[in-house]
Every structure is written in C-alpha cells, then in structure tokens.
Structure 1
Amino acid sequence: MTLKGRSIAKGTGSGELLYTDTPISFLGGVDAATGIIIDEKHPLHGQSVAGKVLAFPYGKGSTVGSYVMYGLARNKVAPAAIINTECETIIAIGAIISGIPMVDRLDGDVAGLSGTVTVNGSTGEVSAAE
C-alpha cells in the first residue's frame, strides 16, 4: 500500500509505525536524551520514538520543541520519519534542522498501515511492506 502526501522534510526513513491520534508537544513531552515520551497524560507515555515512523495529527507547544527534536537527532534517538495530518511550523522546522524525513496531508488513513513503514519526504510517499 502506498499513500501520497505533501513533502515537508526531504529524505527517506523506515521503521515500525508508532501512531497516535493525540497531538505531541516535544518540549516537556519527549525526553531528548532517551527518546521516551514523558508526558504522563499522553496515550504513548513511556514509549520510545527512536527509530520509529512517528505518526500524529500535529504538534503543540513552544517553539523550543524544534530544538528538542534536534536534540533527539544529536542523541541518535530521533524518529526515523514523521507523518502528520496537518504539519505546523514547530514540527516542520524541527524535522528540517534534524534531518528527519516528514510528510503530511496523506490521501489515506495512516492508522491502517502495518509492517515496516517507509516515508519518502522528497516525494511525499508513504508505503508499507507487510
């Protein structure tokens, strides 16, 4: 299955899909040293974003969230790629400066993907290999 969306940050990343329908704040919500979601109220609390294809509707919170994403990349615990329903500036900047491939506005339901998911941020394509 291949879905088409809008390219936000170039590059290609593959991994297990980590999906939530709840927005994520990287500042105070994700530990930049470990990649663990530390927001106790978030449904993904305690899970790691490291090496995953992280799919969430949109980001929230402070502009410092972009730098938290950069910290994840520097600490080698960043997501392999990001998929948003509707990307906003904080997450776009974070993905671009961190080298995390990113797309949004997919033409299908990302929650239905399984297996290894590949995001091509250069073409805007997302595919799943069972």
Structure 2
Amino acid sequence: MSDVVLSGRGLVGGVAEGEALVTREAISGWGGVEPRKGRVIESRHELVGQSFAGKVLVFKGAKGSSGWSGMFHMSRLMGSAPAAMVFTTMNTKIALGVVVTHVPAITDLDRDPFEVIRSGDWVQVDADRGRIIVTRPAT
C-alpha cells in the first residue's frame, strides 16, 4: 500500500487526519446540514443522511446563502464539525465558513482530489504546508 501526496494552498492552518467523506457536489449550509450531528440533510444530495463529524470532508464547495458559514460554525460549537476540509471551488461563503469552523482547510490542489481520494480513505491534511497524504485501506 502506498501513499498519494497532493499539494495545494492552505486556507486555515493546522494538521488533522481522519476518514475521508467525498462528494463531487457542493453542499448547502442553510437547510443542507444539521449542525447538531454534522449530518447532510439536503434531500437531493448524494451524501444525504451521512455525517461529516470528525471526517475529512472532500467536496466541491459551498452553495446557497451566506448562512453556510453559520451552519458550519454551529457544527464546531456542537462538536460535530469535520476534522478538515478539502474543496475545489472558492467563494466568499466557503472562505468565511472555513475560518469560523477552525479546521484545517486546503484548496487549489495540484491534482483533482475527486480522482485521488475516495470515501473511506485515511487522509492527513497539513494545511500549514499545503499537503494532503492519502492512504487507502488494505483490501
């Protein structure tokens, strides 16, 4: 088993690791997540019913209103925030969201994370260095 390394731009510093939860879709904050359990509740989202709490959330980015950052901030206050965030599309909603969530966050990767990282992979996010290390579980 070999590790895969991706490089990008760290937005919120720190180091965290955990199981990856991956979606190519953007996530709506207001009405799309239930912050008490860190669960996606957006009815048409592919992750509906799944929890991002303590996981490395790999996703396209934020969609919807400016309430996005508020929902993720509440997930942090309730102890159900993701361990880290890796995303591909920057906008003001996600910029504020990663800051108030206080978790390591990386974007602008040198490779498409959706082609490298799968749900269930173990991912270490070092946002201080802009580095992600992906370890696949043994099969």
Specify the code of the residue in structure 2 equivalent to 1:19.
Answer: V
| Alignment partners' CA distance in 1, 2:48 and 2:117 | 21
* Superposed displacement of residue 41, structure 1: 0.4
Paired-residue identity, %: 35
Can you give the 5+ residue segments of structure 2 that lack an aligned partner in the other structure? Answer: none
* Superposed displacement of residue 93, structure 1: 1.1
* Superposed displacement of residue 37, structure 1: 0.5
Greater Cα radius of gyration, structure 1 or 2 = 2
CA RMSD across the alignment: 1.2
Alignment of 1:1-130 (within 5 A): 1-111=4-114, 112-113=116-117, 115-130=121-136
8 Å contact kept, 1:9–1:92: no
Bigger strand share:
2
* Superposed displacement of residue 11, structure 1: 1.1
Q: Output one character per residue of 1:52-92: Cα deviation in whole Å (capped at 9) or x when no partner.
A: 11111121111111111110001110000011112222112
TM-score, scaled to structure 2: 0.88
- The size of the alignment, in residue pairs, is 130
| Alignment partners' CA distance in 2, 1:61 and 1:55 | 18
Can you give the 5+ residue segments of structure 1 that lack an aligned partner in the other structure? Answer: none
TM-score, scaled to structure 1: 0.93
